[in-house]
Amino acid sequence: MLKIKWPNGSLIILATVLLWIKTYIVYKTSFDINIENWRQEFILLINPLSFIMIVFGISLFMKDKIRNRYILSASFIISVILFSNVIFFRFFNDFLTIPVLFQTSNMYDLGSSVHELVRVTDLLYFLDFFILLLLIRIKPSLRADFYVSKATRKVYFLFAFAVAFLNLGLAEIERPQLLTRTFDREMLVKNIGAYSYQFYDVFLQSKTSAQRALADGSELVDINNYINANYKEPNKEMFGIAKGKNVILISMESMQSFVINQKENGQEITPFLNHFIKESYYFDNFYHQTGQGKTSDAEFLTENSIYPLNRGAVFFTHSGNEYTATPEILNSHGYYTAALHANNKTFWNRDIMYQSLGYQRFYNMDDYHINEENSVGWGLKDKDFLEQSIQHLEDMPKPFYAKFITLTNHFPFELSEADSLIDPYTSDDKTLNNYFPTVRYTDEAFKNFVQKLKGDGLYDDTVIILYGDHYGISENHNQAMGEFLGKEITPFENTQLQRVPFFIHVPGQKGKTMSTVAGQIDVKPTILHLLGIKTKGNIEFGSDLFSKDKLDFTVLRDGSFITKDYVYTRGTCYRKDSGEQIEPSYCEPFMGKAKTELEYSDKVVYGDLLRFNKNTKLLPKSGVGQKK
């Protein structure tokens, strides 16, 4: 029997109730969790309870001297986990995973972004902890001894596990095969809870870590068959049209397509890019397909034609894999390959990953003149970065393949008045307001860069490719985005906002806007075919954008997909031309293809399967951090 006075045992009950209520309030106020019916609301309400009860229930096995200390520590640690997810969600609209937590080398460079996301009112996320701490100090009875029998502990944990099984049962009814949807973190948090999700993520991490050791070459058979069956022959008129030309590939930080040909306060946001469309192949239905790796995922996609992972960043988790990336292939065709990025070479683990991709040289912050005057936000301003890079291009052996990573148009979108060419937008959303001036600044930087390429004689012998790496304005700013665009941002509209600009300027070719549905996965085969390099037999999930047989289809990392006629996202099918919600049957023919591509791609990365591929040429890799 439980020999306990009510005030003595109330600390566990109080800690449980306070944390339970706080978690539900955070769900409703800090996370954008879509609730469709009362059953989902009930699941959301109960899903933290069993986990919290089990964690605090462990104290029932402890001696009285450490019981309260454990409850306080557990309350604080769980609050830290919840708050960390809140901060991460504020910008990335996503939940933390174990691989992201391992990316500690990025923390130094994230200072300005984190500072922008943290608020004084965030202390309220720890309010329950402070209440418990205060009560323990002013109410000595909460520190008194109390005895708990084995029978009582058994009843306590049976109730906790009963709540857990009720939660899982209801979740499985609401969303069958829930735990197979590891790419949909919102769905997992909504159904099993933020805390249980974190433990499930630990399980996923241990599972994926074992995949490489257990992998063998036989897994490539089905993947090769799928890729060969979906291979599209290059357009004969475009194949080799840029053979022997230099290639400049520029990652446009946080650049989304909605700014192209758009005005703010009567002024063009991207006047140079608007003009560059007339001199380039411009793809207006081109989507980013990144996950938690953001810019690094965009690099991985464009240079490997393989999808990034649904958890963490490949640049961190699988930098030691064997890849057959664009730089490595071009090395064997006489190209000099280099990456240029005026940041710390270890950021996003680039110094290691670039070696795996085959780069011969990595120009990092040590190769640029950086000071307070020419820096803002995350580092060297784009104008100075691109201008200083001209000399590096002139010194490179020809032909070269050079990738640029820009920085200025990065959250929190900082810019001095002296560099602002248009006024900030006027709304209640600071992030969106500041976005347009930094986009305009980067646009001007591109203009200056192209003018200098023309002056140095490089322009006429160089293919210039510009691509947006990922969104700049997340779903957390949908209200302000809706005001700017003059329409409600529905899940359909949000998917359309994942379009990013994609330009291919080929010397001697006239400009043309192409509406092929495509994504970053298609960049690699497109570049190689323009240079006259065959790709058949490579493990690539993308297709040449100029192929006459190119399928209007692209898959986003969260499982959404876009076709010529339909958009599928968050379990709903829409007409692409109108955004009208329609029966799922219209989208069903493409669901299998989307699922298969993501699953096959994950197998390639997790199992490091390219080491078994007979078509993989194991070329020697240069130390990209060394000057040559």
Residues designated catalytic = 295
SS (H, E, C) 259-302: HCCCEECCEECCHHHHHHHHHCEEECCEECCCCCCHHHHHHHHH
Are 376 and 437 contacting, i.e. CB atoms less than 8 angstroms apart? no
- By CB atoms closer than 10 A (0-12, 13-18, 19+), residue 93 is middle
Residue 396 Ramachandran class (φ > 0 left, ψ -120 to 50 alpha, else beta)? beta
Q: What is the C-alpha separation between 324 and 465, in angstroms, rounded?
A: 20
**Pick from 354, 418, 338, 348: which is nearest to 378 by CA?**
348
- By CB atoms closer than 10 A (0-12, 13-18, 19+), residue 150 is exposed
Residue 31: HSE in the Cβ half-sphere, 13 Å Cα cutoff: 28
**Pick from 235, 228, 301, 297: which is nearest to 514 by CA?**
235
Q: How far apart are the first and last CA of the chain?
A: 78
Q: What is the C-alpha separation between 84 and 78, in angstroms, rounded?
A: 10
Whether the upstream peptide bond of residue 412 has omega within 30° of 0, thus cis, is yes
Contacts of 72 (CB under 8 A, 6+ apart): 129, 132, 133, 136
Kindly report the number of other CB atoms within 10 A of residue 393's CB atom.
Answer: 21
DSSP 554: E
